Structures are given as C-alpha cells and as structure tokens.
Amino acid sequence: MVSQYFLNVNVSSEDEHRVHWERLINALYVMVAMLMTKDRVDTENLDKHIKIFLACCVRVGDMMRKGDDSGAPLFWEKKGNFYSLLNLPAQIKRFGNLRWYWDGK
C-alpha cells in the first residue's frame, strides 16, 4: 500500500531526510496496527496517532518540495483517503472495530 506512493520518490541519503522517512513509516505502522487490532482501541489515542501520521506526511512532503517552485500538490494532498483517516475514530466509536467491517454480501 505505502510503497506505491514512494515508487517515484528520490530518497536522500542525508540523515535528516532518512529520519523523516523513518518517522513516517513508523507512524504508519503504529496507526495501522491500532486500526486493525482485535482489541478495543481508545479512540482519543487513535486520533492522536492518525494526526501524528498526517503530520509526518506533511513533513516528508515539505522536504520533497524544497527547491520545487511548481506548486504541484504533495503526494498526500490529492488523495482523499488521507483526509478521511480523521473520520475513523468517530466511526469506530459508533460502529465498532474496523477489523470486522465488510462491504460485500
């Protein structure tokens, strides 16, 4: 899932860039683990972790944009799923764990 967003990204070997990428990937793993757990999740804590992940996306996007004055949207800005992550804690609070959702028949 995440690798598709990073296929055409030039990752710098500079330590600062590497740290931002590592933080993004770590935040993603924590967020997904919290979303897909079988256990009951604290929705306020989940909300904080989703915001941490989105903040990491902003940092990496800003890092990628340095020196680029084209004004093109960042990798996450044109994807609706990034914004809809903010709705998940309320949805889980109302309907229960995401792990048990199914949209088929």
pLDDT in tens, 56-96: 988 888 887 776 667 777 777 777 788 889 999 999 999 88
Each as own residue / partner, the long-range contacts of residues 89-94 (CB below 8 Å, 24 or more positions apart, any chain) are 89/43, 89/44, 89/46, 89/47, 89/50, 90/43, 92/35, 92/41, 92/43, 92/46, 93/43
Is this prediction's pTM over 0.75?
yes
For residue 5, being part of any structural domain is answered with: no
Q: Is residue 3 part of a domain?
A: no
> Does residue 74 fall inside a structural domain?
yes
Asked, for residue 8, whether it belongs to a domain, the answer is no
Per-residue pLDDT tens for 31-59? 999 999 888 889 999 999 999 999 998 88
Q: Is residue 105 part of a domain?
A: no
Number of domain units in the chain: 1
**Domain span at residue 47?**
13-97
Provide CB contacts within 8 A for 1, sequence distance 6+.
Answer: none
Is residue 65 domain-resident? Answer: yes
Please give the Cα distance from 71 to 90 (Å, whole number). 33
